[in-house]
């Protein structure tokens, strides 16, 4: 059976996901697209795909079994709730939404529907290196985790994204989610320290040093640099009671010549996580074909949203901002896949 997918938002990542859904993965076809910019949607539409004037019309169409949301964050809430109302599985790029209220609205709709339909695009959980790292931690051979050092560096960000909130709303959510997943714990409080501002970014507040206090007492420090010029660099190291486990740099050819010994650095997230994105969609297609969702859930998107909100408050207060989570609905208790 071929899963008929409609893609909302045909910008940078929307186009990349259309490419993987049409040329890399099997059992799936992109049958519909929609974008606020109709010309962009038409240009991105694969052969035979219908171009819809509104996300709502795409979601309701019989040509669509399941939906992929790649619009910008503030539009996600309404589109997710429309997908749930239509009973259609939906993959939503991170961030799930951009406020606690919006996250709760989506969660309430999904809980009322009674079955998981939403998967959030936290692709690191599908990366082979992160999965090996988690397997080592979960095996217990190194003892309990005490600290996790996470590094998230982007070469640059598009002009339109040069706001002071962007590194915390759009970037920190990946580190928040992977910290919760690796350490199997919730984040209880957040602090943010601001080093001297990089002179490269104009008004951009960059970099950030974030401290996440896990509920069980472990600490996570996160360097977020979104404008560091040299490339896309994701690293991490977990310190446990009897050893450490580190996320390796990506395997790449080692070149030795008269300039020295070196390895190429990925240009951006598309290159570094190309296999993780493919794998997250493989698992999404399987679940969506059965009318449900596995992998990172609405609860995980809610948790990451609370962390981003707390981090923004921490920048303003200079102090430690506590996170108050509501009780976890039973719908999100079952670990349904390796990535859940």
Residues engaged in binding ligand NAP (CB under 6 A): 8-14, 34-37, 40, 55, 70-73, 75, 93-94, 121, 123, 170, 269
Q: Which is nearer to ligand NAP, 122 or 218 (CB)?
A: 122
Query: Quick one: 14 or 295, whose CB is closer to ligand NAP?
Result: 14
To the nearest whole angstrom, how small is the minimum distance from the Cβ of residue 219 to ligand NAP? 25
Round to whole Å and give the CA distance between 125 and 108.
Answer: 25
CB 59, min distance to ligand NAP, A = 11
Rounded to whole angstroms, how far apart are CA atoms 264 and 179? Answer: 27
Q: Which is nearer to ligand NAP, 218 or 339 (CB)?
A: 339
Smallest gap from residue 44 Cβ to ligand NAP (A): 9
- Closer by beta carbon to ligand NAP, 191 or else 300: 300
Provide the H-helix boundaries in the chain. Answer: 12-19, 38-44, 55-60, 76-85, 100-113, 128-139, 166, 172-183, 269-272, 274-289, 298-317
Mention every residue, 6+ apart, whose C-beta is less than 8 A from residue 68. Answer: 5, 6, 7, 8, 14, 17, 21, 90, 91, 93
**Which residue's CB is nearer to ligand NAP, number 15 or number 239?**
15
Backbone angles phi, psi at 253, to 5 degrees: -55, 135
Return the SS3 of 4.
strand
Which pair of structure tokens corresponds to residue 255?
């070149």
Could you tell me if 238 and 148 are in contact, meaning their C-beta atoms sit under 8 angstroms apart? yes
User: What is the number of the residue whose Cβ is closest to ligand NAP?
Assistant: 11
Minimum CB distance to ligand NAP smaller for 36 or for 331: 36
**Phi and psi of 201, rounded to 5°?**
-105, 15
124 or 213: CB nearest ligand NAP: 124
Give, in order, the Cα–Cα distances in Å from 255 to each of 118, 234, 265, 271.
Answer: 43, 21, 12, 19
- Indicate the DSSP class of residue 87: T
Taking the complex as a whole, how short is the minimal distance between the CB of residue 322 and ligand NAP, in angstroms?
26
Smallest gap from residue 77 Cβ to ligand NAP (A)? 10
Instruction: State in angstroms the smallest separation of the CB of 268 from ligand NAP.
Output: 9
The sheet with strand 3-8 has its strands ordered as 50-52, 28-34, 3-8, 66-69, 90-92, 118-120
Nearer to ligand NAP, 59 or 187 (CB): 59
């Amino acid at each position: 059976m071929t899963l008929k997918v409609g893609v909302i938002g045909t910008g940078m990542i929307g186009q990349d996901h259309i490419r993987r859904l049409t040329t890399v993965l099997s059992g799936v076809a992109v049958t519909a697209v929609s974008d606020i910019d109709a010309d962009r949607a038409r240009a991105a539409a694969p052969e035979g795909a219908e171009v819809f004037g509104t996300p709502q019309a795409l979601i309701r169409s019989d040509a669509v079994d399941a939906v992929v949301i790649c619009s910008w964050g503030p539009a996600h809430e309404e589109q997710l709730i429309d997908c749930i109302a239509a009973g259609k599985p939906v993959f939503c790029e991170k961030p799930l939404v951009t406020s606690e209220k919006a996250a709760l609205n989506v969660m309430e709709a999904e809980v009322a529907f009674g079955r998981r339909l939403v998967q959030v695009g936290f692709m690191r959980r599908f990366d082979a290196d992160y999965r090996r790292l988690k397997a080592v931690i979960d095996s217990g051979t190194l003892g309990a985790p005490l600290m996790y050092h996470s590094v998230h560096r982007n070469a640059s960000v598009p002009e339109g994204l040069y706001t002071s909130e962007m590194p915390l709303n759009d970037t920190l959510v990946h580190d928040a989610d992977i910290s919760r997943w690796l350490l199997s714990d919730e984040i209880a409080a957040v602090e943010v320290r601001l080093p001297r501002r990089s002179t490269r970014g104009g008004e951009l507040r960059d970099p950030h040093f974030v401290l996440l206090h896990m509920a069980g007492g472990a600490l996570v420090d996160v360097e977020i640099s979104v404008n560091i010029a040299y490339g896309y660099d994701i690293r991490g190291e977990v310190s446990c009671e009897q050893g450490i486990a580190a996320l390796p740099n990506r395997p790449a050819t080692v070149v030795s010549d008269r300039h020295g010994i070196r390895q190429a650095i990925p240009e951006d997230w598309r290159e570094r996580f190309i296999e993780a994105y493919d794998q997250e969609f493989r698992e999404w297609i399987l679940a969506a074909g059965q009318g449900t969702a596995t992998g990172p859930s609405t609860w995980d998107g809610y948790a990451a949203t609370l962390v981003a909100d707390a981090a923004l408050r921490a920048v303003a207060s200079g102090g430690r901002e506590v996170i108050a989570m509501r009780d976890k609905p039973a719908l999100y208790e079952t670990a349904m896949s390796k990535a859940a």
